[in-house]
Structure formats: C-alpha cells, structure tokens
Structure 1
Amino acid sequence: MIADDLPYRRVGEPRRGGIVCVADHASNFVPEDVPLGIPAALLDTHIAIDIGTDGIADRMGRRHGIAAHIATVSRLVCDLHRTEDSPGLVPTESDGHLIAGNIGANIKARLERFHRPYHAALGEWLDEADPELIVALHSFTPELESKVEDRPWEVALLYNQDDSAARHAIRLFGEEGLTVGDNQPYSGKQLNATMDRHAEAMGRKYLTIEIRQDLIATRAEQARWAALVTDIANRVALALKAEG
C-alpha cells in the first residue's frame, strides 16, 4: 500500500557522500480507485513488479547502511522509470497482456499523483545526500511470454552515456562467477530514465543493476544478493575514487 499517500517509502538514513539505492519498480500495489481491468494473478508477475527488488533494497537499507528510496505503486499504474512523455508511462499493454483499464486513462492525473511527487522527492533526497554512487535496482524475467528470447544472464549492468561505474561492476560480478550482461537484456541507452535524470544529468556516478528474477524470489536469496550488491557497490566506489 501507499503510506501517507506517497508513491515511495524510505529505508535507512543516507550517509552524506556515501552510497544510496533507488528501486523504481519495487511494488505491485494498485490503488482501489485505479481499475486496471486485468486478472489479479498478473499483479504477481514481472509486468506489474520487479520481483525481488523490494526485499533487496529494504535489506540494504536496514542491514547494510545503504539508504533506499523505494517505489510503492505498480509500474502498471504509472511507470516511474519512464520520462513524462513516454508512451509507456501508463501502459496499455505489457508482454502480450492488454491493460484495458489504462486505455483512455487520465495521464496528467497519474503524473500529478505518482510520477512527479516520486521524482521531486527523489531529487531533493539525492541533493541532500550528495552520494558518491547511486545503485538503481531492477530485475528482469528469465522468459518473456510474448516472444522467444534467450536470457542467460544472471545479472546485468545498464548505462547510457556514462559507463564508468558499470565497467567496474561488470568485471567484479564476473569475478564472482556470474554470467553478466553488458547493457542486456535491453539497453540503458533506451531504458535509463531515472538515472538519466538524477545521475547522468547531475554528474553523479551510478550503477543500474538488473538481477534475473528467478534468482531472487525468496527472502534468503534476496538477503544473499543484498550483501553481494552492497559489496560490489562499495568496491566500485573505491575504484572510482582511486581513479580520481
């Protein structure tokens, strides 16, 4: 649910100049006054939520000292990881499923209620924290319904123009024995809206991390990945600092 009518929640207190986490797709919550016209079971799938990211981001904030800004509304209501003029901001289709309730939706109202408050608060939070590194946390489905596509990666790094942090993380995840995607299964040059706005445009270093959802479905798996992502992020921050 949305606490205090806010489309986000916070976990942990950011350490100024430290590392923070952002999770745009961490919730499958749909307000009662936003009928989507889809079977309820779809809300537990990847079209509604980045499975596992809420648990990882929450644990990073509570256990690992990386404060988190976490979305509390489903991407099917308003995709917070899109620009305001994106056709996918209020999706009418996702992975072959019609989102009938969004056809003819009042997009301006969704922007005012969800998207703009989320990003205004995130911008202020980041200004105050002045982080050395932002971890933008996402997950991806191992298999799409609408097309056949090989997705062998266990974790992937997405980036647009600035790949300086991502390059270190790709190497470090690889050294952990993981199969690492480089701007896969989709490119950060097309899907990087939040970090384009709050990181690249502001000169902040970031990691957009995509984890395959079947690896982070349980609390135990989320705890493992929270520790791993924290370790990698800290090592990337040190590497960037060493480069000056």
Structure 2
Amino acid sequence: MTGHSPYRHVGEIARGGIVCVGDHASSFVPDDVPLGIAPELLGKHIAVDIGVEGVAEEMALAHGIPAHIACISRLVCDLHREEDSPAVVPAASDGFVIPGNVDADVEERLARFHRPYHAALGDWLDTAQPELIVALHSFTPRLESGGEERPWEVALLYNQDDRAARHAIRLFAEEGLTVGDNQPYSGKQLNATMNRHAEAHGRPYLTIEVRQDMIECGADQTRWAALVANVARRTLLALKSA
C-alpha cells in the first residue's frame, strides 16, 4: 500500500477564522511498513493521540472549524517532529521498542509521509489565512514507563508566542478545569508543527493537550469539541480586542 495519503481535510475552509490541526490523530500503519509490534499497541498513546480524531472531526462538522488531520500513526513517521529529530521515526516509545524502525529508511519515510503532510498543511494554511490555529493533542493520565499521575485535564503548550495561550489558560480555568501551563510537555522543546506553520508566519495558535481519559468515548468527544470551539472563539475575540 504505497498510495495512502498521510493527511485528510474535513470541513470547508474560508479565509480567516479558526482552523484545527491533528498531527497524531491516526493509528493507521500501511501494510508495507512492518513495525514488528503487537497489534494492541496501536491502540495506545505511543501510536495515536486517543480521542483527537473524533474531537477534530466534530469541530469541523458541527462547529465550522475545518481540520487538517493526519492519516498515519506517529510510529510510522512522527509528523510533529522536525525532519532531523531522532524521534521522527521512533525506535522506541514510552518503554516499548519498535523493531521495524530500528534500521528503517528514514529518508523514505520523510519523503513518503512527512514532507507531503507538511507541504499540504502549508498550502492549506496559505489558502485559509486563519486568524487562529488550534493544534489538538491528547496525553496519558500516566506514562506506561512510570512517573507521577498527571493532574491536568487540559493544557496549553507554546514556544515563544504565548499570546493566545494566555487567554485560553484563563478561559479553561473558568470552566472549572485543572489547566497545565506548558505541562506535561513544554512547547519550548516540542512545538515542531506550530513553530513551522504558526510562529514562523506570525499566526496566533493554541496547542491544546486534553487528557485522553477525558475524550475516549464519542459523547465526551462531542462535549470537548464544543468546549474547545468555544474557548478558541473567545480567545480569538480577546486577541482582536487587545
């Protein structure tokens, strides 16, 4: 299976407004990419940001926020890494070895998945000229390899540009949620897609991490899509009035 697209678009873009990006929304592995792992691992966070695809689709179809959604697993090629990152084709993740990636042809994976994904995302954003980008991810309540329980229900990540994040942190907190500020990951170290497509172009963005147990089922995905859409719209209004 060599023709599988690494991305798809949901919803109609219009110039301005808000768009959504889901780099880790899929657990799909093409037949000709042997990872050498147990099939059940494809349902874990090492392979996919659980719940993100459903939230992004709902945002696009029910809330008018079109989405650029990844269609391959992060274990095949991590689209949210720079091309020269050792983790762009991960040999291990959260304590699990990925045998098929140990001696993988990284250049072939980049040419087949990473570059087309980002070229299409760049063109899509150039057409949309969005006023705000929502980069949607999810995180585990606790890493499989150990560590502390993660208390945050939602978090905002950012690198240098925190102008939208500051508003969203406040707005999610006003909803009674426990909000992480550059937790459990720091956008100053891990912000590849938004560094390239938002910060490099001066586009405001929200990198939103939702704890995966909050969005595992369809009803919760519907609820969170409405919440994220509402916070994004209120953030955009706050940016415009600043």
Shorter-chain TM band: over 0.9
Q: Percent identity?
A: 71
Query: Within 5 Å, which residues of 2 pair with 1:84-95?
Result: 84-95=83-94
1:150 shift after superposition: 2.9
Q: Return the TM-score normalized by structure 1.
A: 0.98
1:5 shift after superposition: 2.4
Once the two structures are overlaid, the 10-residue window that deviates more, 4-13 or 179-188, is 4-13
Quote the Cα distance in structure 2 between the aligned partners of 1:123 and 1:216. 28
> What residue in structure 1 maps to residue 203 of structure 2?
204
- Give the paired residue count: 242
Quote the Cα distance in structure 2 between the aligned partners of 1:16 and 1:219. 30
Query: Within 5 Å, which residues of 2 pair with 1:1-244?
Result: 5-243=4-242
Quote the Cα distance in structure 2 between the aligned partners of 1:150 and 1:185. 10
User: Does the CA contact (< 8 Å) of 2:55 and 2:222 recur in 1?
Assistant: yes
Q: What letter corresponds to residue 220 of structure 1 in structure 2? A: A
Quote the Cα distance in structure 2 between the aligned partners of 1:14 and 1:226. 18
Q: What letter corresponds to residue 146 of structure 2 in structure 1? A: K
1:73 shift after superposition: 0.1
Quote the Cα distance in structure 2 between the aligned partners of 1:132 and 1:51. 27
Q: Structure 1: which 5+ runs fail to align? A: none
SS at match of 1:5: coil
Q: What letter corresponds to residue 103 of structure 2 in structure 1? A: G
Quote the Cα distance in structure 2 between the aligned partners of 1:149 and 1:108. 36
1:149 shift after superposition: 1.9
The Cα offsets for residues 129-161 of structure 1, whole Å up to 9 and x where unpaired, read as: 000000000000001111222310000000000
Quote the Cα distance in structure 2 between the aligned partners of 1:40 and 1:89. 21
Quote the Cα distance in structure 2 between the aligned partners of 1:217 and 1:70. 18
1:15 shift after superposition: 2.0
The Cα offsets for residues 194-231 of structure 1, whole Å up to 9 and x where unpaired, read as: 00000000000000000000010000000000000000
How large is the Cα RMSD of the aligned pairs? Answer: 1.1
SS at match of 1:181: strand
Q: Structure 2: which 5+ runs fail to align? A: none
Structure 1 segments of 4+ aligned residues over 2 angstroms from their partners: none
1:6 shift after superposition: 1.2
Quote the Cα distance in structure 2 between the aligned partners of 1:124 and 1:5. 19
Q: What letter corresponds to residue 55 of structure 1 in structure 2? A: G
Q: What letter corresponds to residue 221 of structure 2 in structure 1? A: Q
Quote the Cα distance in structure 2 between the aligned partners of 1:94 and 1:170. 29
